Chains A and B, each alone.
Chain A
Amino acid sequence: MARTSYLCWSLLTFLLAFSTQSAEMPLNMTQGVTEISQQVYHLHMKIFYICCAIGVAVFGVMFWSIIHHRKSKGVEPAQFHESTKVELLWTAIPVIILIIMAIPATQTLIAMEDTSEADVSILITGSQWKWHYKYMDHKVEYFSLLATTRQQIDNKLQKGENYLLEVDRPLVIPTGKKVRFLVTSDDVIHSWWVPAFAVKKDANPGFINEAWTRVDQPGIYRGQCAELCGKDHGFMPVVVIAKEQADFEQWIAQEAATQAAAKDAELKLLAMNMSKEELMTLGEKTYMGYCAACHQPNGMGIPGVFPALKGSKMALEDLPAHIDIVLNGKTGTSMQAFAKQLTLSEIAAVVTYERNAWDNNTGDLVQAADIAKAQSK
């Protein structure tokens, strides 16, 4: 026995020494940057300390027993087996402790769920596997995709500092304002979570949930999707940048102008034809960002889950059907409608790419005008 426990302790010491390397990971819940997240943190600590105190008391009595009331010490066992007084006492005391816990929890909860009188409203829509942000009071909306490269995930490149927690276009919110999030989904259930705000809200398809925050410190805050949403659930992070009110105003005005200009440019493009190289370059970029998660970078798909595009009938022959499925998706499957997610030229390019990449050498060139024509039908 002595030898056994010696071995066990040395193993434990080794493992503890091993664990001390990870000094960079916080060991506790974040305090966050909002009043609510501070309240949640303190609530968490309060319950934690109460649990510790109960644990020390109960386990203390138990280990006292284990050490002193053992047969090897020659003790005679007592024979008592009930005591109404004691049993009532240890039913009543926990009830009182629970009431003490419930009061602050109730107060915080009511504050968290009060989404009234918001200054800014943002519609957040989850879809497999990206977030879409739409500012309700401005003509600004965009998708936010994982920015970490495939090579980093596949261990072919050194992983960056914000590995899996970086996006191409973060959500931008003003500081000092009550920001209301309207959360919904286009396909399965997702959950929008930013630990620093203590906001986690499920995105349910067909329903809109509400949450809110008021951030006082400008900064970059990172989170992740928290509800299993299919294959790439681990790869749809949330990044929020909080800017001072003036910076936010400037940013959103510029963003609105850029998006309006892009729409005009799109119309002009209808009259122009892109070369095959241009289409293939833009097409590959779009494909990798929007299509490769399911259909795979090599166009082979995942048998039984996501169909292959390489050598498929649709990508080789039926062009109208090909354009239609990219534009409108296919109901009852994971294939999304990309008409609103991508520009006309991006759709034209990606269809061209799919019809010419991986030995799909159809030679078909699809232009933005073709897409516009298909859309107007």
Chain B
Amino acid sequence: MSTVTTDPHAHAEHEHHGPAKGLKRWLYTTNHKDIGTLYLLFSLLMFFIGGAMAMVIRAELFQPGLQIVEPNFFNQMTTVHGLIMVFGAVMPAFTGLANWLIPMMIGAPDMALPRMNNWSFWILPFAFSILLASLFMEGGGPSFGWTFYAPLSTTYSNDSTALFVFSVHIMGISSIMGAINVIVTIMNLRAPGMTYMKMPLFVWTWFITAYLLIAVMPVLAGVVTMVLTDKYFGTSFFDAAGGGDPVLFQHIFWFFGHPEVYIMILPAFGIISSIVPTFSRKPLFGYASMVYATSSIALLSFLVWAHHMFTTGMPVAAELFFMYCTMLIAVPTGVKVFNWVATMWRGAMTFEVPMMFSLAFIVLFTIGGFSGLMLAITPADFQYHDTYFVVAHFHYVLVTGAVFSIMAAAYYWLPKWTGHMYDETLGQWHFWCSLISVNVLFFPMHFVGLAGMPRRIPDYALQFADFNALISIGGFAFGLSQLLFVWLVVKCIKGGEKATDQVWEGAEGLEWTIASPAPYHSFSTPPEIK
């Protein structure tokens, strides 16, 4: 790398080096900003495809009885909705943000491994094309839930399972490459003087997330491969008749699955920790404790997987162990929420859209945390497990948690990315419509679940009818509200008030010291860190 700057020819080339034109720019790009943009747009597309499937689910559940889809297709919708939203919408959105922001935040010119960066993005469209194409196979796509419990996904599934396994493998490879890139970039390309404890929290949380990804994506790859060999090659990992155990599947899956849910929330913590201080005009409270809390959440995430499996018939001692460990996660998570509130305390707040989404995140994610704590209590979990109470819980942490943080991030950094301010009025409309509809959508699910409605059913007893109609109305409204966001982003890319370099009055960090829109190469010479 260092030889490049000493070579005069390379330097001359560098002067003229800008983005190529047309489709080639996007196919061949090794630029972190281009790849970040690709990730973000891909994630937005997947958000709408997964959302469309949610609309099918809500339309069927609008009234009791079967009216729009038959149960087999309904199960495909719940399965693929989950897979698309987890692997196609939330994870690529965070990777896109990491690509755009980490080099700018640590004073680097680009990501450390740009060609791998290109590859890790460009295999994703293939993965999701395979997954979506499987829906058009004879017998339909995967219909065993995004958790693909064996033996439903092995002996009792149709041949789309092979496509499902293959696409999950590609998603996993993409995630692992993305994570390696993040770690290598952060370890090697920080500007001189930027010690680990001076890194912005978004960088810190992504650093930890990347380690989680490297630790658990191979576990996912292992478990899908075991599903594949059980189905096609005569192994019996999950079949008692051959000496296996179907519960083994759940242990392996959730050993991946629980860290996975923190993969989808730790970067969100980083985003909120960037936005709240800016609009409170006050430094983040407890920076060091934020770092330690994030690390302890990550470590604990490896010790709690079986809380998804309390009803599978574990020994009491194991149930107690997993209950205590799960409850313990409330402590570092609480520290984070308290720190955000303390950051706002005696600040001078303003309420632009990124701040509104962040405030909504703090309240609604905490509600999801409360229901998570309730679910940790094993005896009560026997009643909550596999009901709409769980559906409410994980949508509070993933939609009003992860997705709201991504929205907040998009609004916060859009002016830096495009060089234009977004339309504040339209943004406020988007926020308020989303906030109200998302609560009409997910809040009543708590009650429906407590009243005893199981999840993943296409039809339900009459007592649940009114609430389901209300939930569906909330769902349609939330889906429609997101069109406002697309309109706003298009408007912001096309034009708008010119953004200043700092964009926000209280914003601090290296990304706010460079021009808006950010130049194609951020820091060719490393900035000085105070």
Contacts and interface: CB of A to CB of B under 8 A. Distances in A.
Contacts of B143: 230-231
Given A40-B383, A95-B331, A207-B245, A5 B432 contact: yes
Contact of A110 (B316, B338, B382, B440): B316
Contacts of A232: 71
A12 interface: yes
B311 interface: yes
A73 to B, nearest CB: 8
Given A102-B324, A112-B382, A195-B383, A69 B347 contact: yes
Contacts of A51: 370, 373-374
A113 B319 contact: yes
Nearest to B435: A8
Given A109-B316, A228-B145, A234-B460, A199 B382 contact: yes
A225 interface: yes
A8 B434 CA distance: 11
Contact of B374 (A19, A48, A188): A48
A164 B461 CA distance: 6
A224 B337 contact: no
Given A44-B380, A202-B313, A204-B246, A77 B374 contact: no
Nearest to B378: A109
B345 interface: yes
A47 B380 contact: yes
A101 B308 CA distance: 19
- Give the residue among B145, B373, B387 with the most A Cβ atoms within 10 A: B373
B191 to A, nearest CB: 22
B338 A90 contact: yes
A91 B293 CA distance: 10
B156 A334 contact: yes
B346 to A, nearest CB: 4
Given A70-B349, A235-B459, A303 B282 contact: no
Contacts of A66: 344, 349, 351, 359
A305 B286 CA distance: 56
Contact-residue bracket for chain B: 35 or more
A123 B256 CA distance: 33
A232 B289 CA distance: 49
B463 A304 contact: no
Given A44-B374, A58-B337, A233-B456, A94 B331 contact: yes
Chain A contact surface mostly? mixed
A228 B377 contact: no
Contacts of B383: 29, 40, 44, 195, 198, 200
Given A155-B65, A163-B462, A70 B331 contact: no
Contact of A62 (B247, B341, B432, B470): B341
A228 B245 CA distance: 18
B302 interface: no
A162 interface: yes
Interface string B310-330: 011100100110011001101
Nearest to B467: A22
A376 interface: no
Nearest to A73: B348
B85 to A, nearest CB: 17
B363 A62 contact: yes
Interface string A28-71: 11100000100110011001100100110011011001100111
B229 interface: no
A225 B75 contact: no
A187 B346 CA distance: 61
Contacts of A128: 156
A299 B117 CA distance: 52
Given A62-B363, A91-B331, A207-B247, A304 B386 contact: no
Interface of B: 64-67, 71-72, 75, 137-140, 143-145, 149, 151-152, 155-156, 158-159, 239-241, 245-247, 280-289, 311-313, 316, 319-320, 323-324, 327-328, 330-331, 334-335, 337-338, 341-342, 344-351, 359, 362-363, 366-367, 370, 373-374, 377-380, 382-383, 385-387, 428-429, 432-433, 436, 440, 444, 447-448, 450-452, 454-467, 470, 473-474
11 contacts: A65-B349, A72-B350, A77-B281, A98-B327, A187-B156, A188-B149, A200-B383, A207-B245, A228-B144, A228-B145, A234-B459
